[in-house]
Amino acid sequence: MRATVRVPRTDRPIFVALDLGTNNCRMLAARPDPRGGFRVVDSFSRITRLGEGLHDSGRLSEAAMARTIDALRACARKMARHRVVGARMVATAACRHASNSDVFLRRVEAETGLRLEVIPAAEEARLALAGCAPLLRPDSRGAVVFDIGGGSTELMWVASDPDDDGRPGLPRIVDMASLPLGVVTVAEARGGDLCDQAYGSVKDAVRAALGVFDRRHGIAARLAAGDAIQMLGTSGTVTTLGGVMLDLPRYDRDSVDGLEVDFISIAAVSRRLRHMSCAQRARHPCIGSERADLVVSGCAILEAICDLWPVGRLRIADRGIREGVLMDLMRAAGVLA
């Protein structure tokens, strides 16, 4: 269900997008920018691990629901400070798969006043692409766009149709795949940190799962023939790797968003993180204790994608679903320049 928006005549309305994933709760509040796009006026991000234990039990645990509801209360308080004229709050893989997600959603509404919308994988992919599309180059023959989440990995094959004058048009999803492999599900299935053998097994599983998708569109064959194909990744895994590669003293979105990294560097940093202890990763300023036990699982998924499609370079997007939601809301209200 899409949010309906009615913009009052007063100036500078605020729109809100909330993305509740398997591992994170994120919110953006923004107003339209007269120069184009939007300007963020408030934000929230907290690792809640809503999907903790879901792989084994099929249910959201009481502790995970309580942590997440506490984060959502903080979001509701932030929203109450602003004159919000349009909002959409979406939930993804954990709520799609948990047998007690209806109970959780009712609790969220009763305790926070927020009504979450559980979206299918195809809508999740569409929103992620809408949010990060400005980072795609218009001169390629196609693009592999992916989002490594906590409970799943969404992957898209994207093309741009030329307009009547032959100029590249807006990117569109030709096809998408949703793999039930995310940083939380992989880490829980493998019992935490991955040894070299388990790391290789995860990579094999991802490549096998994507084989049909690859053959359907001939992506590897196109690359072998010399087609210009780009790769764009949006997730905590790729942004974390970007921060580690830059050796940042603390994570900085402006430094990472739009960064291009080569596959050799991705493999080197992944190997370095894999051979660190969890405690060592926790002390890294771009990882921290909340991601220390998950980032290696994300590296395995990422390396498998890079191995299957050796584009050579990856562009990192620190943007995605929330930005896509905001653009949808503002277009529907007729205020997006």
Q: How confident is residue 7, by pLDDT bands cut at 50, 70 and 90?
A: very low
Question: What are the pLDDT digits (tens) for 118-127?
Answer: 999 999 999 9
- Is residue 187's pLDDT more than 50? yes
What domains are there in the chain, each with its CATH number?
14-121+322-333 (3.30.420.40), 135-321 (3.30.420.150)
What pLDDT is attached to residue 55? Answer: 86
- Is residue 205's pLDDT more than 70? yes
What pLDDT is attached to residue 288? Answer: 92
Q: How confident is residue 197, by pLDDT bands cut at 50, 70 and 90?
A: confident
Question: What are the pLDDT digits (tens) for 267-298?
Answer: 999 999 999 999 999 999 999 998 999 999 99
The whole-model pTM stands at: 0.86
Which two structure tokens, joined as six digits, stand for 168? 């590249």
What pLDDT is attached to residue 321? Answer: 94
What pLDDT is attached to residue 216? Answer: 95
Please give the mean pLDDT across all residues of the chain: 91
Question: What are the pLDDT digits (tens) for 207-244?
Answer: 999 999 999 999 999 999 999 899 999 988 999 999 99
